[in-house]
Structure formats: structure tokens, C-alpha cells
Structure 1
Amino acid sequence: MDYLQGRAARDKSFSYEVVIVDDGSVDGTKRVAFDFTRKYTFDNVRVIPLGKNQGKGEAIRKGMMHSRGELLLMLDADGATKVTDLEKLENQILAVAREENSIRDPASKHSDFRIGDVQVSAFGSRAHLEEKAIATRKWYRNFLMKGFHLVVLLAAGSGIRDTQCGFKMFTRAAARRLFTNIHLKRWCFDVELVFLCKRFNIPMLEISVKWSEIPGSKVSMLSIPNMLWELALMSVGYRTGMWKIHQA
């Protein structure tokens, strides 16, 4: 909020909202979230309480579908990624969106346009930190990481090295198209986003961001079988036509 308020003070054309999705938490998250709503007003901070846990993918989907902005950023509440890095994603999306818009409508090349109407996605990435992580992690964790990367490659194809970083930005048009079609409700929805971006020919940008390890991660060794199951489900669902894709 300090960052967003400061930016709005410097740039009168800048507007924002923060959407907090509480995925059935059993700690004090919901109370803290509503305190922020009272402090900063409903126009700036909104809370979506899901009642019971539905999974990170479903929580993100609901947040995206309720968002009102032209650019929609998803970020984890633990603060592992610095919020100021959103400007890196924003600037590169804007550059690509202008190019895409000029291709679509050459007459508008030098005129204003609504960035939210152009479909572009930006994936925050920790891939640049991988070499250091490999040197400090246990061998079996590195083995599992490489194995997961291979499975992701087989399921969604190449293009994004770090699919799981919880810091992604979409133009409004891209978010509506992607999250209308998302099926996976838990950990591997990020991989499905890559798959859908390719299916819809939505440009994908992978942008290095600052990231720090935060204690209390919900991902563990026991998460691996569930993630593999989700990837297998996605592969079967799309290849057999059981999962339909809405083009609109």
C-alpha cells in the first residue's frame, strides 16, 4: 500500500486496487484483510473470502475474474517477491502491447490505446537464481526439480523456464481469456496458463524478479505426487477433448 499510494501521489493518472483472496484460512488473515479494507476504503482494497479452501489456482482465478484493472498482477501474500518489480513486468507488457496493437491496427500506431484490450502475459521468473540454488540444495531436491521441469516441458512445451513463480501480470483481455478456461484448481494452474497462452497465441514474457525464501512454504516433498497428477490430468483432459476451450 505504501508503494501504490506513493506512486499514485507522483502520477495522477495512476489508479490501483488490491484484491485479497482468502482461501479458507484458519489464521488471522481474514481479520487483517478486512482491517485493511476499513483503513484504505473499499475502492482501494477488497476482500474475497472463499469460506473453505479451494486451492491456489481457484483463489487466483476468482481474484482475476473480480479485478477491475487494465493490468492484473497476481502475487503471493508472503512477500517473497518485491512489489516494486511489477514495474519491470508492466513496462515490458506495455512495449509488447504497443507493438501488437500497431500490427493489429497500423493507423493507431502513434495514438493512445487501452492496454487492457491487447492480450499479453508476463511471468516473473527466478530462473536466474537457479545456479545458486542448485549449489546449496540437497541432491534429491535438485533431482526432483529437474524431473518436474521435464514433466512440465512434456505437458506444456517450452517457452517459460520458471512456471511456478507466484508473480505474474496479464493485460485484462489476456486474463479474461485465460482464467475463463483454467481447469486446475491447485498447484499446477501456472503450467496450464503456459499451455493456454500457447493455444491462444498470447505473447509470453519471462522477466527476472528479485525473490527471497520465506519460511512456511506450503510446497513440500509430499506435494510432488499431487503436482504430477495434476499435470497428467491436464494432458489427458486437453488431448482427449474432455476439457473444452472457450474461444471468446
Structure 2
Amino acid sequence: MAHPELSIVIPAYNESARIERALDRVLSCVAEQGWDAEVLVVDDGSTDDTAAIVQRWMTKYPRLHLVKNPGNRGKGYSVRNGLLQAAGEIVMFTDADLSAPMEEAERLIAALNDGADVAIGSRWMDRTRQTIHQPLYRQFFGRCFNWVTRTVMGLPFKDTQCGFKAFKRSAAQVIFRLQTIERWGFDPEILFIARKLKYVVREVPVTWGHDERSRMSYLRDGIKMLEDMARIRGNFVAGRYDKAIAAMKDTSSMVTPPVEKVVKVSSVEAR
């Protein structure tokens, strides 16, 4: 079977209340837009019936797949696991709440077709595109975190945390093999790595509607992300990324499939 042009990865942890709506909207969009696409849901050790729901949908949609993490590893691990197993020439991830409508993927794809290697959705480039605004305290903490990220890590982007990003397959296969952060702080790291490798990263304004059911705690998770940024900076200063890049080149592992204990369940196995 020929590889799809697009792979859409959805990280999911205990998403039984939202995953069917997400699948309906994503798969409907794929059909309406005529995309040659596969969809991969990465189950991050859910304790509810998220995986069972996905497997039920797989009986109707052959290009819908379930990837299972070895336990609860975090959003960063889930995104990496899904994107490294994705077969598309363009690979992207979106949150299960679909705060950015799936149709907005066209904007990311256009940026990649226009020469970018990485396209990241942004909530702050054009605030008129926000359909449901975050509470003021979330806006405040989010902007503060982004300022710290820009200052400490030298990232020029207005929004590093938007869960709507796309990559050319060749870039993703390199960037995500160098990723070390497995939870919420992974976004700044992959952007830091992309810039270090001289990839073209383009920030694209997207329509966005805040979901009140977001599980992220700006206090608890914000502190952890600050720790992650310190770790990323430490990795850079210690030359760990340079050593990893050299090792990848020496072993020709830039295009080798990931070696991880995961299960990619096909629609046949789900019946």
C-alpha cells in the first residue's frame, strides 16, 4: 500500500468523553477535504475505555490506527511515538479537544508547501481568530511562560505551546529522535532542536477555541516546564544534542524506524 500524503497524530489519555467527537470531526474533515491521510491515536496508558472506543471505530475506517504506549509516559512521549511511526510525507499532531479546527491544517500544510520544514499553529499572532478566549489568569500565565521561553531559549515565536504542529517527514524523523522531554515541556525542545538544525520554522495564525476541560495546571505544570527548559539549556551547554546528532549520522539512524515497546493495532486486528 502506498504511503499516505498526510499523517494526523492525536495523543490521548483518558479521553473517552471526547475521543469519539474528535474522531468524527477529524475523519469527516479528511473526507470533505479529500486528503490522502491516515489518523493515529496514541493511547498514553489510559485507564478508561479510550482504546476500546478507537478500536471500535477502526472497524469502519481502515486508515485509523491505535498506537499504545508502554504505560503513562506523557504527552511529549505520545507525540514522538506517533510521529515517528507515522507514514505520511507530512506528519502533524493535534490535541484531542480540537481547539484548533481540523480544517486549519490546510494553513500548516500551505506553509510546508511554501518552503517551511516545520509549521506551528499560533493563538497569539492574530487574536481575532480566537473563538473562545482563555480565562484571564490562563492568558497571563501563558504569556509569562512564553516570555520566559523566548528569553531563556532564544525562541522568537509568539506561541510555542499550541498543540497544533506539522512537519515534513524528513525533518520530523530527525527532530523527534533528538527529543528528550516526555511531558508538557516538549514543545520548546523540539522547536529549539529544529532551529539548531537550521530547519525553517514558520509560525501560522490559526483559529482557536479554548476548552475549559483542559487538564493542564499552569502552576504545577508550569513549574515542571521551567525545569524542563533548564534541562534543555543544560543539554545544549553540555553538547548533548551535538553528540546525539553525530551519533545519528554515524549509525545512519536518521531514517530507521523507532525501536520502542509499542503496539500499532490495525483495523483487521480490531474486528
Instruction: Report the TM-score range of the alignment, normalised by the length of the smaller protein.
Output: 0.7 to 0.9
* Deviates most, 205-214 or 24-33: 24-33
Pairing of 1:214-225 with structure 2 (within 5 A): 214-220=211-217, 221-225=219-223
Residue of structure 2 aligned with 1:154, choices 136, 139, 151 = 151
Unaligned runs of 5+ in 1: 9-13, 98-119
CA apart distance, 1:68: 0.2
**Which amino acid in structure 2 is aligned with residue 19 of structure 1?**
L
* CA distance in 2: counterparts of 1:130 and 1:228, whole angstroms: 29
| Residue 240 of structure 2 corresponds to residue 237 of structure 1 | no
Does structure 2 conserve the Cα–Cα contact (< 8 Å) formed by 1:180 and 1:246? no
Please name the residue that 2:162 is paired with: 165
TM-score normalized by the length of structure 2: 0.74
**Cα deviation digits, residues 160-211 of structure 1 (max 9, x gap):** 1100000000000110110111111011111011111111110011001111
Return the offset for 1:129: 2.4
CA gap 1:134/1:158 in 2 versus in 1, 3 angstroms: farther
**Does residue 1:27 correspond to 2:58, yes or no?**
no
Distance 1:69 1:135 in 2: 33
The separation in 2 between residues aligned to 1:7 and 1:147, in whole angstroms, is: 37
Task: Show the counterpart of 1:3.
Answer: 29
Cα 1:46/1:131, change in 2 over 3 Å:
closer
Secondary structure of the residue aligned to 1:47 is strand
Q: Answer yes or no: is the 8 Å Cα contact 1:123–1:205 preserved in 2.
A: yes
SS in 2 for 1:246: helix
Q: Does the 8 Å CA contact 2:42/2:82 hold for their aligned counterparts? A: yes
Deviations 1:69-91 (A, max 9, x none): 00001101111110001111111
Q: Which residue of 2 aligns with 1:212?
A: 209
**Aligned partners of 2:42 and 2:69 also within 8 Å:** yes
TM-score, scaled to structure 1: 0.81
Aligned position for 2:94: 75
Tell me the alpha carbon deviations over residues 114-163 of structure 1, each in whole angstroms, 9 at most, x when there is no partner: xxxxxx0000110122998999514xx55533431232113321321100
Q: Quick check: 1:72–1:171 contact (8 Å CA) kept in 2? A: yes
Distance in 1 separating the partners of 2:134 and 2:141: 15
Preserved contact between residue 81 and residue 210 of structure 1 (Cα < 8 Å): yes
Alpha-carbon distance in 2 for matches of 1:16, 1:46: 11
Identity %: 29
Distance 1:64 1:23 in 2: 14
Mark the CA change 1:142 to 1:78 in structure 2 (over 3 Å): closer, same or farther. closer
Q: Select the structure that is richer in strand.
A: 2
Q: Which has the higher helix share?
A: 1
**Paired residues of 1:80 and 1:211 also in contact (CA < 8 A):** yes
Tell me the secondary structure at the aligned position of residue 96 of structure 1.
coil
Q: How many residues align?
A: 217
Letter in 1 for 2:190: L
Structure whose CA Rg is larger: 1
Q: Shift of residue 28 of structure 1?
A: 2.1
The residue identity in structure 1 corresponding to 2:166 is M
- For 1:7 and 1:144, how far apart are their aligned partners in 2? 36
Structure 1 residue aligned with 2:79, among 50, 60, 73? 60
Counterparts of 1:31-46 in structure 2, within 5 Å, are: 31-41=52-62, 44-46=63-65
Partner SS, residue 21 of structure 1: strand
Cα distance in structure 1, aligned partners of 2:160 and 2:79: 15
